[in-house]
């Protein structure tokens, strides 16, 4: 990083942007295995929030990798950089007063801890989409588990790359029990709590 950088203070700050939108900026960080249901829940959640007049933005793993992170692979080093970039983008959106929904495997505890630190713990809600590996493999919506089992994809989370479940997430969604609407409602109810 250059030593010749100085942060520029803008006339409109995060508090004012939040007041204009009449909402508390929040990052809702969905983590779980591939096929767990993160993207489906994120879409249902964003739709429900928009229907309530909330200002949102959804950062989805594949979409971000098609643009901002198109230069990254799936090595541990690249996964760490992917989450670092997403954290910084989410932090900017928090500054804009938005409710940000992220749907990323984000397999490593240290990376989720870094995301919480970058974004700010007061603005960060960790949601574990707790779907067993065998169910994710059964669903296999993109055919990725099959390819990983055949050795066609390396460093695939849950197969030959670790997934470290959150130890103390604010919300746990069990997709074998909760449908999309129930999952979305649980998250909204949580972020609406004045005491969180």
Q: ∠38-19-188 over CA atoms, to 5°?
A: 30
Q: What is the pLDDT of residue 62?
A: 81
Q: Give percent above pLDDT 90 in the chain.
A: 72
Q: According to the model, what pLDDT value does residue 1 have?
A: 57
Say which range, 6-10, 21-25, 47-51, 107-111, has the weakest mean pLDDT: 6-10
pTM: 0.90
87 catalytic? Reply is no
Would you kindly state where each structural domain of the chain is located, as residue ranges?
A: 25-192
pLDDT tens for each residue of 60-104: 988 888 888 889 888 888 888 989 999 999 999 999 999 999 999
Query: How much is the average pLDDT of 126-149?
Result: 94
The closest of 124, 93, 89 to 14, measured between CA atoms, is 93
Q: Which CATH architecture has domain 25-192?
A: 3-Layer(aba) Sandwich (3.40)
* Catalytically annotated residue among 18, 106, 161, 195: 106
């Amino acid at each position: 990083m250059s030593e010749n950088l100085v942060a520029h203070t803008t006339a409109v700050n995060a508090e004012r942007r939040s007041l204009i939108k009449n909402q508390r900026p929040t990052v809702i960080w969905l983590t779980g295995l591939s096929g767990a249901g993160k993207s489906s829940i994120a879409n249902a959640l964003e739709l429900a929030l928009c229907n309530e007049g909330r200002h949102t933005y959804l950062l989805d793993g594949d979409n971000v990798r098609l643009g901002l992170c198109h230069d990254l692979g799936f090595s541990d080093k690249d996964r760490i950089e992917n989450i670092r970039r997403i954290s910084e983008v989410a932090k900017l959106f928090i500054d804009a007063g938005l409710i940000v929904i992220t749907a990323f495997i984000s397999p490593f505890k240290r990376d989720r801890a870094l995301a919480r630190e970058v974004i700010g713990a007061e603005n960060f809600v960790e949601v574990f989409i707790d779907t067993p590996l065998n169910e994710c493999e059964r669903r296999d919506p993109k055919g990725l588990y099959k390819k990983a089992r055949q050795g066609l994809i390396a460093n695939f989370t849950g197969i030959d790359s670790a997934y470290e479940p959150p130890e103390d997430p604010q919300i746990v969604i069990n997709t074998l029990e909760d449908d999309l609407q129930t999952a979305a409602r649980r998250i909204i109810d949580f972020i609406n709590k004045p005491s969180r």
